[in-house]
Amino acid sequence: MVTTPVVGWTEQIARARLHVVTGKGGTGKSTVAGALALALAHGGRRVLLIEVEGRQGIAQLFDTQPLPYAEQKVAGVPGGGEVRALHVDVEAALLEYLSMFYNLGFAGRTLRKMGAIEFATTLAPGLRDVLLTGKIKECVTRTDETGRHVYDAVVVDAPPTGRIVKFLDVTKAMADLAKVGPIKGQSDGVVRLLHSGDTAVHLVTLLEEMPVRETIEAVEELDGADLRPGAILLNRVRPPRLPARSVTAAADGRVDASRVREGLRSAGLALAEEDLDGLVEETVEHAIRVQAEQRAREQLAEIDLPAVELPDHVDGIDVGTLYELAEALVDQGVR
Amino acid sequence: MSGTLDMDALIDDPDTRVIVCCGSGGVGKTTTAAAIAVRAAERGRAAVVLTIDPARRLAQALGLAELGNSPRQVEVAGFEPKGSLSAMMLDMRRTFDDMVLAHAGPKRAEEVLANPFYRTISSSFSGTQEYMAMEKLGQLAAEGSWDLIVVDTPPSRSALDFLDAPQRLSTALDGRMIKLLTGPARAGGWGLRKVVSAGFGLFAKAVSTIVGGQMLADASAFVQAFDGMFGGFRERALKTYELLRSSGTAFVVVAAPEPDALREASYFVERLAEEQMPLAGLVVNRTHPVLSGLPAAKALGAADNLEARGGAPLAAAVLRLHADRVALAQRERRLVTRFTKAHPAVALAHVPAMASDVHDLGGLREIGDRLAAE
């Protein structure tokens, strides 16, 4: 059986301070970003988890009140580590940004109500991304009075794979915007950070055809834009139940029903014909899925990135399972 | 308890003229829309399916190898429907261009199409795809060549985007804001302006510092060229909105049995009720029903027993994968029950997951069978 080369968390990724987490919709990107933030907070570190898409997904994940536009603690980790969270609101970020250069006073709130800010981001769609990445950079580079970074690591629950390169490619977005002025000066620093070894872009995927295809395309796009892919985060990995040698035959519909019946009988189970047929049918479907997962692993192996796995939790994700997922990441070398 | 969504009754009813498949991204809307259209055609309707962004293999299954912005008859070996089936993929830029060409004189249309701001709006504004999907639906309905139109909705993160986007785009294009930004003094008659005029002047200055004066000038030129067309646009959008509210339309909300997708489905069902839009029901897509009556605890006990004795590895594996499946089915049932408790009047259809991805008409037919099986 071919498996994805699980080399875990490389030295190079461990050096990154900004971890951008993307993935196709429905792959559990936000959950993985949350687990990664918890894992990185091990060893007494302080981590900031940023959400940029206005979904309040972090609040749901950590079972807290909707987050304001402020950094606030959402979880502690044994050993003194902590995760803070920030929900970046584009409108607030624009006003905050403008107030650095102009005194808008009370007009800011009224402008917001009038839709003026949404309008400004409509005029120049790149503006939105420039504001968001600008805020991210500010958090990554912020230092305290002793000159030490306020956050040891910053994790971003980023836009999905289809939009990630556009989101991070600030240089392109700037082409839409003014060639001079304050925003230009700031964006140069953002570009430097995003293209440096301080940043790693991780890709969350399931072992399914479409998410894997999107992952591969996204890696090509990231490479093309000179951004750095980090690790593949295989989410919701389910245990293979069938012995490897039985998979191919079973996927073809060849399950030796009489052997199954005999085995069941030796364990003291005598099933009605239809219940046995049902088991066989479930086994065929399972085998077809295992084969598809195998193909997905082979395809992922070709892009040759380090990978870590998160096990499936069939009962869904709560704060408890989030800590379990973080443990699983730490066990695989995430640091 | 919720009723069952009777898909065949819906597609056989000659008064059903439009079926809109909506739901959050990644739940199988496009495939569901295609399967409904195939089934309707085989049951005698003259159907057309408007897809937004189909996976390549699904597009091939419908014979849509090339992107075309108008419907084409589906001709595939072994497909001889009693009715007929056409299919198309939305090309949003071309739909927008066509709309401009239809509403403006040739000279003005040329100006608009060449404007850089128009190019931004028509290709990257987040609401454009939704708006153009609705525009195309309006065109297909007006053309009258089909008696059933099945519409797939854009793959937005939120199912509600598609109802809100046309409004957002209208607001962006209606020019009030641009007039304010480019010449606040001339945009009189707005009470608010007095209150914020000082702030607004600054804001306008700030915005032009950020987006650049050229962008604002382009935007202004665009809006001026666009002004005359705007009434026509709005009228058409209203007409499509009315079509969506008419009794000939049926919304089919699609969701995967996952918390996020069902939460979005909930919002959407509530929103449809608010807008008085007709909901046919919820399709719970890709479920994993248990196929054998063996209880999970018994299966696990027997598997432990077999493994302890080191015999019958195949039987032990079968027992474990069955127990996994029971657990998965229970979770799905629990999630769906949460939805039905909140929306007891919504009819449901469950579509068991196919073992592999659908990439031909046979697969679409199979999904159609599963949709109508209950």
Residue A260 belongs to a domain: no
Q: Does the pLDDT value for residue B78 go beyond 60?
A: yes
Q: Do A279 and B322 touch (CB under 8 A)?
A: yes
Q: Domain span at residue A48?
A: 11-243+302-331
Q: Does the pLDDT value for residue B137 go beyond 70?
A: yes
pLDDT of B119 reads 79
Q: CA B343: distance to chain centroid?
A: 21
**C-alpha span between B165 and B153 (Å, rounded):** 12
Q: Do A283 and B321 touch (CB under 8 A)?
A: yes
Residue spans of the domains in chain B: they are 7-174+229-291+332-371
pLDDT of B171 reads 66
In the predicted model, what is the mean pLDDT of residues A290-318?
Answer: 93
A296 compared with B52, residue with greater pLDDT: A296
Residue with tokens 């014979």: B63
Residue B186 DSSP label: G
pLDDT of B310 reads 86
Residue A282 belongs to a domain: no
Residue A273 belongs to a domain: no
In the predicted model, what is the mean pLDDT of residues B345-357?
Answer: 91
With cut-offs at 50, 70 and 90, classify the pLDDT of residue B241. Answer: confident
Residue A5 belongs to a domain: no
Q: Does the pLDDT value for residue A100 go beyond 80?
A: no
pLDDT of A314 reads 87
Which residue in chain A is spatially nearest to B305 when comparing CA positions?
Answer: A267
Residues of chain A with pLDDT > 90: what percent? 67
Residue A256 belongs to a domain: no
**Selected residues 58-97 of chain A with any CB under 8 Å from a CB in chain B:** none
Identify which of A10-14, A92-96, B189-193 has the greatest average pLDDT.
Answer: A10-14
**Selected residues 128-187 of chain A with any CB under 8 Å from a CB in chain B:** 160, 176-179, 181-183
In the predicted model, what is the mean pLDDT of residues B302-321?
Answer: 94
pLDDT of A192 reads 92
A130 compared with A133, residue with greater pLDDT: A133
Q: Does the pLDDT value for residue A287 go beyond 50?
A: yes
Which residue in chain A is spatially nearest to B118 when comparing CA positions?
Answer: A123
Residue A154 belongs to a domain: yes
Using a CB-CB cut-off of 8 Å, the residues of chain A touching B207 are 120, 123
Which residue in chain A is spatially nearest to B123 when comparing CA positions?
Answer: A125
Report the mean per-residue pLDDT for chain A. Answer: 88
Q: Do B125 and A122 touch (CB under 8 A)?
A: yes
pLDDT digits 0-9 by tens, A41-82: 999 999 999 999 777 889 989 999 988 888 999 999 999 999
**C-alpha span between A185 and A145 (Å, rounded):** 24
Strand order in the sheet with A72-77: A72-77, A81-87, A46-51, A153-157, A18-23, A199-205, A229-237, A307-311
pLDDT digits 0-9 by tens, A224-260: 999 999 999 999 999 989 998 899 999 999 999 999 9
Q: Give the CA count within 13 Å in the CB-facing half-sphere of B223.
A: 21
Collect all residues with Cβ–Cβ distance below 8 Å to B161 and sequence separation of at least 6.
B126, B127, B130, B154
Q: How many domains does chain A have?
A: 1
**C-alpha span between B265 and A27 (Å, rounded):** 18
Using a CB-CB cut-off of 8 Å, the residues of chain A touching B260 are 26
Q: Does the pLDDT value for residue A6 go beyond 60?
A: no
B223 compared with A333, residue with greater pLDDT: A333
Which of A25, A120, A238 is the closest to B26 by Cβ? A25
The CATH number covering residue A220 comes to 3.40.50.300
Count CB-CB contacts under 10 A for residue A274: 11
In the predicted model, what is the mean pLDDT of residues A16-21?
Answer: 98
Which residue in chain A is spatially nearest to B293 when comparing CA positions?
Answer: A275
pLDDT of A111 reads 64
Distance from CA of A15 to the nearest CA of B (A): 33
Contact B160, B135 (CB under 8 A): no
Q: Does the pLDDT value for residue B183 go beyond 60?
A: no
Q: Do B311 and A123 touch (CB under 8 A)?
A: no
Residue A209 belongs to a domain: yes
Q: Which of A25, A209, A284 is nearest to B58 (CA)?
A: A209
Distance from CA of B80 to the nearest CA of A (A): 29
B185 compared with B303, residue with greater pLDDT: B303
pLDDT of B184 reads 45
pLDDT of B199 reads 58
With cut-offs at 50, 70 and 90, classify the pLDDT of residue A15. Answer: very high
CATH for the B7-174+229-291+332-371 domain, from 3.40.50.300, 3.30.2130.10, 3.40.50.2300, 3.40.50.720: 3.40.50.300
B227 compared with A327, residue with greater pLDDT: A327
**C-alpha span between A181 and B211 (Å, rounded):** 10
In the predicted model, what is the mean pLDDT of residues B12-17?
Answer: 97
Distance from CA of B147 to the nearest CA of A (A): 33
Contact A30, A61 (CB under 8 A): yes
Q: Do A177 and B117 touch (CB under 8 A)?
A: no
Maximal C-alpha separation, chain A: 82
B193 compared with A35, residue with greater pLDDT: A35
Distances (CA, A) of B295 to B154, B304, B369: 41, 15, 28
Report the mean per-residue pLDDT for chain B. Answer: 84
Residue A24 belongs to a domain: yes
Identify which of A319-323, B127-131, B216-220 has the greatest average pLDDT.
Answer: A319-323
Q: Does the pLDDT value for residue B320 go beyond 70?
A: yes
A90 compared with A309, residue with greater pLDDT: A309
| Range name among A14-28, A236-250, B211-225 with the lowest pLDDT average | B211-225
In the predicted model, what is the mean pLDDT of residues A199-228?
Answer: 94
Contact A317, A61 (CB under 8 A): yes
Q: Which of A174, A178, A95, A130 is nearest to B209 (CA)?
A: A178
Contact B232, B99 (CB under 8 A): no
- AA letter at B98: D
With cut-offs at 50, 70 and 90, classify the pLDDT of residue B173. Answer: low
Residue A26 DSSP label: T
